A and B are shown apart, each in its own frame.
Chain A
Amino acid sequence: MRGKTPSPPRRTDLRGLELALVALPVAALPHVWHQPPWITALVVLAIVARAWLLGTGRPAPSLGVMSVLAVIAGGLTFAQFGTVFGQEAGTALLLVMIAFKLLETRNRRDIVIALFLGYFVVVTTYFFDQSILIAAYSLLATWLLTAALIQVHAGRVIPRPRLARQAGAMLLHALPFMLILFFVFPRVEGPLWGDPQREQTARTGLSGELNPGDIANLLQDESTALRVEFDGQVPPLRAQYWRALVMTDFDGRRWSADENRSVIQPAASDADNVIRYTATLEPTRARYLPMLDYPSALPEDAELRANYQVLRDRPVTSRIQYSAGAALTTPPGAGEPTLDPQERTRALHLPPSAAPRSRAEVALWRATHGDDDRAIIQEALQRFSAEPYRYTLQPPRLEDDSTDTFLFETQAGYCEHYASAFAVLMRAADIPTRVVTGYQGGAWQERGEYLRLRNADAHAWNEVWLDGEGWTRVDPTAAIAPERIEQGLPGLASDTGEEMPGFLRRGEGLSWLQRARFGMDDWGDFVRFRWESWVLAFDPERQRELFARLGLDSQDWRSVLIALGAGFGSLALIALAWVWLRRPRQRRSPADRMLQRLSRRIARHDRGLARQPHETVDAWSRRVILARPDLGESLMAFAKAYNRQRFAPLTPEQRRDDLRHLRTLLHAVPRGKPPAPKPDPVHA
């Protein structure tokens, strides 16, 4: 009674396991770099063991063995991470679970579950890496997993090339769905729970305080901070100051930003002067948005504060894109005769004991120049350019009063030292001054035409209040290294022989090898940027913009339904058209097509005269002639030509000529009604 055994022999059940044993390790491979080695070892061991069991035809380990193994693995995971939840521990547990699932595979269901979990493993890869390489790699892994899934359900061994094609086709056909859903599926601002970014991304970017040494760390960080595409006119590099944080409060050593200023409207500026751009910002976990000086148009979810600092309504926890505008020539407060007294007090504050030597020096300047604030500023800048101030990322430690020590003793430092010291000098001279941090310079990417600002391009400068002109930007660092503001130069680096920020090492004097590396970097950054700005930066904000461009509202469910319907509707139409175009058709010969037309033409007046499928042309024409003797000659000729065309051995030329003849004969048959019945010679 063979029919009684419900399950086929076990050997058939495990078809597809071989492929699963390939696909799953491929899916898990990127985790090797992010998991403790024992996880990798365990997974490899389990897979090798399963492959060995499969190869030798041995059964899977018993349930008892598996439970013991599972408990041990769970314990190890807990011991390693202190939890079994969260990204790393969760992924580790997932990997171990899959390995064990494979090891204990008894039937098809086990393989299917393992493969489904394999898709999950691919997704967890993105916790650690979202590069385009990983995207391509996960496509490969998904392809293999799908192929394994197909093999599991095929019921027989499918030849590998066919399997590969089938799985590839499934992936390919799924891509349109993926794209439509990606853009149209309603996005909400994450996270739904917890604070995923805390575990996810290390913080980069500027901090809300300026401590000596802060920016130095950043200046050695070559990773991208911000990429900018300009809409139309691109301002010269020297004019590009990307302000992020504005610091007014000084305690003698540390500058700090204030996020609680009142919200103001950007000054109106005429549209011709506004530079429009779209920036892609890497996550900073802070609220500031770097804006090109001076902000005149803001993204919707950000606001301008009284100190002209632009803050987003929530921290930037993932890569975002925003569009904004800048008026290069209209500094904040321009045209206002005086500074608000409260603000003035804040911008003049110096701890009483701070920088006595500096104050004394400034008092001399005041005595010389009287009320001329501009002259005082020039005096300070001249001091930086005339005296042997050095630009170095490894300045000597500043003892005692940091400002005095820097100005009179070490005279070596980088932007934040200069900005801080300059601000102290100005405040000592009763000129309201603040420190601004942000980015300056950057590298223009010819390929892709965008500006790339690295963390190494972080910069600090000052703004001084001049009655009538508003907050005017002064960059004291430019006084010592003016070339830097134009573009990076290697000269300065060789002068000091010290480690310089990356942008100073660019340009001339590079070996061809270095050039090649930079060239490759350009390409790499270009691809990365496109990937990041087109794919990774898509968020609820971008979706809103996309919908708005289509005249829809992404917050309105009806709009979402319309967009989904339109997307899938057009997809369905394309699929239908494709199926219709590829429908199996019987290719009729031209002669047959003409025969069909003739039959239709004659049957128009008498349906019974249509040629039946079983009728030969001769039989049919004889039948028609009985009813329509008027067609006699033309039909006979047509039948003869048709038979010749179909059955006689003809050269291509003859065939063509005959076909033309056939067409003439076809058209010779009148379309009109049959003539009034004449005495019928046959039936008479």
Chain B
Amino acid sequence: MRPHSVTGRAGSRSRTARLRDDAIRWITRRHAHDGDQARLGRDRIYILPTRAGYTLLGIILVMLLGSINYSNNMAFLLTFLLVGIGHNAMWYTHRNLLGLQISTLPVPPVFAGQPLTLPLRLAETAGRAREALILRIGARATAPFPVPAQGTHTAQLELPVLARGVYRLPRQRLDTRYPLGILEAWSWLTLAPEIVVYPTPIDPGHTAGGDGEDAAGAHDRREGDAPDQIRPYRTGDPPGRIIWKAFARSGKLHVREFASGQGDRLWLEWKAMPASDTETRLSMLCHQVLAAHAEGRVFGLRLPDQALEPAQGVIHRDHCLQALARFRSKPVELNPEAGR
């Protein structure tokens, strides 16, 4: 059972919240799958007065009553001017969203327990500078941000700290109260960037009380690598193998090389992890992947349901981490309220 489990969610939320959710889903059904890009057309911008709007309405009504009572034409003029301003605010607020293009950016993966930031790119093409936009998911919101005319802005929304896994983004909301704050225009977005959370690295050494690498490398241990050989840096050597301490002393770049290329292959084994539960094992494997990558090793990863052939480099590392993150995990909808 993963700690952030969302199974209890529906029960804990109130009936009205669910009804509201259904209503919004029904309203937004036409654009229920925005994928990685959405353009805010007139068909998906909604607008309603805010509390301040109702306050101003009340003040205008009082002014109107006063104007009638005192038969004061100048008061009528100002009252109606405010009515006009309030009415046009509707237009201004609506236009502040209209025509914006919102697209997903790759979400930089994080390790479980680290704060996650969702970047969304807003592009302005209509030639009007936009002000005070707020991106929200659930109760999480960005600070108000502007988008320059014919420009872009990348909004960064802080998401809750999540457990390992793959997540779908719940419905997003882009809203604005600019310019007068008496009306709020908003649009529901269903952008679906992929959010991957790697396991938290746990050093198996600490858990096992021995040399981590001993524990990790089961049979294909890097037999010929002790002792390491040192040789001068050649172009193309992974930076992780550079012996920086030596560089600091001598000013020359040297790399650590393991004796045999083939024997260097390291298999990180699911079975070999000194833990019983899935998440801890994954965390340990994660640590091992990172460690192996940092050392510039050629390594493979073997999980119960798949194996990644030994390789090295950033892409390989990320493949491995992705495999760990996705292990026996279906994409779940991210709960923005988690961790609150």
* Chain A residues at the B interface, C-beta cutoff of 8 Å: 1-4, 6, 8, 12, 108-109, 112-113, 116-117, 119-120, 122-123, 126-127, 130, 134-135, 138, 142, 146, 149-150, 152-156, 158, 166, 170-171, 173-179, 181-182, 185, 187-194, 196, 200, 317-318, 535-539, 584
Contact = CB atoms under 8 A, between A and B. Distances in A.
Among A122, A176, A178, A194, the most chain B Cβ lie within 10 Å of the Cβ of A178
A560 B127 CA distance: 39
A193 B69 contact: yes
A602 B82 CA distance: 56
24 contacts: A3-B160, A6-B141, A12-B143, A116-B52, A119-B78, A119-B82, A126-B72, A127-B70, A149-B180, A150-B179, A153-B180, A154-B132, A155-B143, A155-B145, A173-B84, A177-B87, A179-B80, A182-B77, A182-B80, A192-B68, A193-B69, A318-B71, A535-B74, A537-B73
B48 to A, nearest CB: 16
Contacts of B80: 177-179, 181-182, 185
A156 B131 contact: yes
Contacts of A539: 71, 73
Nearest to B161: A1
Contacts of B131: 154-156, 158
Contacts, number: 166
Interface in B62-88: 62-63, 65-85, 87-88
A2 B158 contact: yes
B270 interface: no
Contact of A120 (B63, B92, B181): B63
Contacts of A584: 125-127
Contacts of A152: 181
B78 A174 contact: no
Contacts of A2: 115, 158
Contacts of B141: 6
A116 B69 contact: no
A582 to B, nearest CB: 10
What does DSSP make chain A's interface, helix, strand, loop or mixed? helix
B171 interface: no
Interface residues of B, number: 55
Nearest to B129: A162
A84 to B, nearest CB: 16
Nearest to B56: A116
A123 B66 contact: yes
Nearest to A109: B52
Nearest to B158: A3
B184 to A, nearest CB: 11
B159 A3 contact: yes
A192 B74 contact: no
B151 interface: no
B239 interface: no
Given A12-B143, A153-B179, A539-B71, 5 more contacts: A122-B78, A123-B78, A152-B181, A156-B144, A170-B85
B164 interface: no
Contacts of B72: 126-127, 130, 318
B146 A156 contact: yes
Contact of B76 (A120, A173, A182, A196): A182
Contacts of A1: 115, 161, 339
Contacts of A317: 71
A384 B161 CA distance: 106
B132 A153 contact: yes
Contact of B81 (A113, A120, A174, A189): A174
B9 to A, nearest CB: 19
Interface in B124-145: 125-127, 131-132, 139-141, 143-145
Contacts of B161: 1
B158 to A, nearest CB: 4
Contact of A4 (B56, B62, B340): B340
B140 A3 contact: yes
Nearest to A2: B158
A146 B78 contact: no
B89 A170 contact: yes
